[in-house]
Amino acid sequence: MAGQQYPEPTVGALIFSPEGKLFLMKSHKRYPVRKVEITLTVPSIEETAAWYERVLGWVGHYDVFDAEGHCLFGSVMCGDLESVMQGKETFRGFNLSRFSEGAASYSQGCANFSALIFVDDVEAMYARAVGNEAAVDSAPEDQLWGGRAFSMQDLNGFRLTFVQMVESPTLEEIRQRHLAD
């Protein structure tokens, strides 16, 4: 007996004009991804890790050091590093790499990075960020695509958007909300 055939999995992108009219719908074949790791290039891993520890309650890990004792590569994460290393837990955080000599400064517009970080309690994350004087854009707001989110910048100017999914609207509901907005 032959195995059941399924259509190829796809993901789509809807692009709307400024007037709210759908002008491009594109679909791409989706490939399985087991994990995505993001590396942020920062001027100081030590200062960056301390900020993430203070503001978000994450844990800093320091891997490789230069002759002067400056960390060259590390990470920040929520969860237990030992459990991640043993494969008991998935890595949830960012790798950190130190700038090489002569890197452009963030003031020259090089911090164009955004990360969506899905959490169970966006209000609690917001309260923690505000309580630690983070550069928060606004309080969590409901999004037309079903998330409740707020954005902030870390000390290096990276944009972090924390999201809690509160509903699962259909694509048609999202389109209607966009047109009504």
- Tell me the per-residue pLDDT of 100-145, one tens digit each, with 9 for 90 and over: 655 545 554 445 455 778 888 899 999 999 999 999 999 999 998 8
Residue 122, burial from CB neighbour count under 10 angstroms (0-12, 13-18, 19+): buried
Q: Is the pLDDT of residue 29 over 90?
A: no
> Looking at 46, 68, 103, which one is the last position of a domain?
103
Distances in Å between the Cα of 164 and the Cα atoms of 72, 114, 152, 153, 159 are: 33, 16, 15, 18, 17
Q: Considering the domain boundaries, does residue 25 fall inside one?
A: no
> Looking at 82, 103, 124, which one is the last position of a domain?
103
| 75 & 124 share domain | no
- Residue 67's contacts (CB-CB under 8 Å, 6 or more residues apart) are none
> Looking at 56, 82, 103, which one is the last position of a domain?
103
**Mean of per-residue pLDDT scores for the chain:** 76
Q: Considering the domain boundaries, does residue 23 fall inside one?
A: no
- Tell me the per-residue pLDDT of 62-92, one tens digit each, with 9 for 90 and over: 888 888 888 888 889 988 878 877 878 888 8
| 181 & 116 share domain | yes
Q: Is the pLDDT of residue 11 over 50?
A: no
Q: How would residue 8 be classed by pLDDT, with cut points 50, 70 and 90?
A: very low
* pLDDT at residue number 85: 73
* pLDDT at residue number 127: 92
Structural domain for 134, as ranges: 111-181
* pLDDT at residue number 7: 43
* pLDDT at residue number 15: 52
| 87 & 139 share domain | no
The domain that holds 168 is classified in CATH as 3.30.720.110
Q: Considering the domain boundaries, does residue 24 fall inside one?
A: no
Q: 52 or 64, which is more confident?
A: 52
Q: Is the pLDDT of residue 18 over 90?
A: no
Give, for 70, the enclosing helix (H) or strand (E). Answer: none
What the block records as the tokens of 95 is 């790798």
* pLDDT at residue number 38: 81
**How many domains would you assign to the chain?**
2
Rounded CA-CA distance 49/54 in Å is 9
The domain that holds 81 is classified in CATH as 3.30.1900.10
